[in-house]
Amino acid sequence: MKKLIILFGLLLSLGACSQNAKPDFKNTDVTGLAYANDFSLPDFNGKMRHLSDFKGKVVVMFFGYTQCPDVCPTTMAELSTVMQELGPLSDQVQVLFVSLDPERDTKKILSQYVPAFDKRFLGLVGDASATKKIADDFKIFYEKVPGKTPGSYTIDHSAGSYVFDKEGHIRLFARFNQGPAPIAHDLKLLLNN
């Protein structure tokens, strides 16, 4: 009987260890980050959105602009491939593209650009003040770089995506240009939690 109790205790402690073990993420684990907790921005349909709207889904949030020549289309294409790799699990993932260029990224432009990568992707855009607020809240760097004409500017900006778990807690920072496999790996871990 004593051996049975010891064995039972050992099994319980092993179970507790496995439940508390940190997932083997490929991206940067930022669980418990003191910022990047919520947002309030309209989507390209004009509906005000908050992180809580997507509870029950893993959320990937990327900041960019539609006229970006490299980082943004590369990231969006990569996230599109991630969705394909996830197969049926992809229905439990919401990708949000947050515009850093409210001057040119109208709701109409976002409604064409963002779903072109995946029809489930959603674009968010506010005015200049709302853009500054969300960028500050999420510690996103962005700066307009003048072009040859007033409308031909580019925007230097942080490259990477925030990932939230199904409960809306910040969990990961996904680095730019790493390929879809590490992101798909980490999303699967979050989806199976």
Q: What was the pLDDT predicted at 22?
A: 79
> Tokens 């980082």 appear where?
71
Residue list for the binding site for Cu cation: 68, 72, 157
Are 110 and 44 spatial neighbours (Cβ–Cβ below 8 Å)?
A: yes
Model pTM score: 0.87
Q: Is the pLDDT of residue 82 over 50?
A: yes
Q: Which domains does the chain have, with CATH numbers?
A: 27-191 (3.40.30.10)
Q: Which residues partner with 170 through β-bridges? A: 164
From residue 105, give the alpha-carbon distance in Å to each of 66, 75, 86, 99: 7, 17, 29, 7
Q: What was the pLDDT predicted at 20?
A: 58
Average pLDDT over every residue of 31-59: 94
Average pLDDT over every residue of 79-93: 97
Q: Which residues partner with 143 through β-bridges? A: 156
Q: Is the pLDDT of residue 8 over 60?
A: no
Query: What pLDDT digit, counting tens, does each position of 29-38 carry?
Result: 999 998 888 9
Q: Which two tokens stand for residue 186?
A: 């980490």
Q: Which residues partner with 6 through β-bridges? A: none
Average pLDDT over every residue of 61-69: 96
CA–CA separation, 77 and 81 (whole Å): 6
Q: Which residues partner with 163 through β-bridges? A: 60, 172
Residue list for the binding site: 68, 72, 157
Q: What was the pLDDT predicted at 184?
A: 97
Q: Which two tokens stand for residue 118?
A: 């995946």
